[in-house]
A and B are shown apart, each in its own frame.
Chain A
Amino acid sequence: MKTKINIYIVAAIATIFMLSCSKDDLTQQPTTSVSDEQVFSSVEAATTVLNAAYRYIGHYQNHTLSYIAADVMGDDATVTSGAYGYPTYSWNQYSYSYSQVPGSTPWWSGYANYIWPINYKAIDHCNSIIVYADNLSESSTKDNLVAQAYGVRGYAYHWLVRLFAPAYNANPEAKGVILRLEPANASSDHIPRSTVKEAYEQIISDLTYAYENITSTDRDFLTKESVALLLARVYVEMNDFANAKIYAAFAANNTFDGSNLMSQDEWKSGFKDHNSEWLWFHNFTPATCNIYASIPSFYYYAESFQGYPYGAKVNIEDKVSKAVNIWDGYGTIRFTKAFVDLFEQTDARKRFPFYFYDEDGYFTSKFNHRTMMGDAEFPMARIAEAYLIKAEAEAQPGGNVALAKNVLNNLQIKRGATPTEATLENIYKERRKELYGEGHRLFDLKRLRLPLIRSTHPEHWANVDLPADSPRFMFPIPENEMLYNQSLTSEDQNDYWK
């Protein structure tokens, strides 16, 4: 009996130590993620990393906030003041009024805290492709993939340097961005701010590599032509008009007769689908964008007002009863009367269907919607800009002014405007008319070293007048970067935010 019990006891103890399952169970793998090795195991796999980089570029907290900031921090666009029954919903209001903060709260006043890390997220993905693609076997698709990564990285650094640093031609030795060219790892170095000049050198180097090596022609990704336009954009900021001319010409396929520009009907129908003039567009779909927070949502306008002619002042009381779907989008961006008055009546680009009060500014219908509100492709690079760069470069002292006039006039005629002389002033004005809402105005003020003058227009409720080269044209380096980048001191913050 005693022995029997002892056997049971031994069996029980054995059970205690043997029942446990295999030790392999302590190593579990996720089902929706892959490892560093797996994601760079083939060009197909690595391409998914590039796709994620594009997604970050189009992320609403990057794309919407930075593109709209570039317009509303200028003098032509405004954000509704919250009066007239059209609240700002706090979106974009603080970049418009130049009262944003370096911290991340409240979220709507700390744009830098979104734009900066999301761009660096895209950059990190590009860095990973550039470095880890070395392990992939050689192929043309691999070369294109790497070239795309260079292109996206150059594009992202270009946005960052323009938002967070002074203009190149104002002070190339000023503090620029943090140039990170290696993929992140747990022990990555802390890197100081480069100069503006170093940033531009890196951007040119990246974009040039992309220009020379991109072979794909899908325009929802970078192509040789669209990279050429980005390069022209960079060179014109550096006053390097010779290079600007060359790349603008390549972007436009050396055609400046207006034949490669979109038709007036296409312009009037509102930007929503790409056409032959769009060299690069961000391919937003309802599933891959936040439709409420995408750019067209902020330009949302009522399709019609019963009984009102185009461009009329609408009685505020008819806002609901006589408009169709006016409340669908945020619809908070307006343009000043002065800006609207720049356009001739015949100009196809005069897309300002109505307004409620002078003080509120005009709605624009430049941006439209596809299947649902907020769903639209967005132009990242258009041939029209190549015309304008070409004209601007040729109109410089010593340039071919006749050619400049020809290029400018071909654009004007195509749009339904009266041709003018190709003075620089006229070309700058044409840029405003052609490119409004596409994220250029602030950068033009900066590179042309112009002041910001709002006080002359009643539409501006934030009467911020700033001198040329104002330090306020720069976003603050976000709080987290200042705190945790050990290579930065408080001196590295932009002047206004110190």
Chain B
Amino acid sequence: MAVNTDVIGKTFAPATYAVGREKIREYAHAVGETDPLYLDVEAARAAGYADVVAPPMFAVVYSLPAVWPALFDEEVGIDFARMVHGAQEFEWGPVVVAGDEITTTASLKDASERRGNGVFVFESVSVNGRGETVCTGLWSNIVRSA
């Protein structure tokens, strides 16, 4: 597929996500987490956290509101029906707890053509209310040729 490399570096509108206690519990149950830090406020407080802790992969939940619009951006031009998730990387900073507000900014880090397929790498940077980077994500998507 033709890949528009002019759009590399484009940064998309930030999105802020308010992390809720019940959302953490819902996510933890869905992925099979049983650590009381994710489920039990008293256990989390006893361990020194202000509220229940988000599992590391909860990064998906607070990042997606900023990443979706980037995937669907017209200038980037991804054909969603042909897109597959090729690779994913997250790097985590301080843990996220219920009550945090996380602001994520996504950008298109790279776009290229490889063996006829389009390869699009988005970066997401998520920051908490204290200005600490809690997670950086690299989302690699492959758009198969027709």
Is chain B found bound to chain A in the same assembly?
A: no
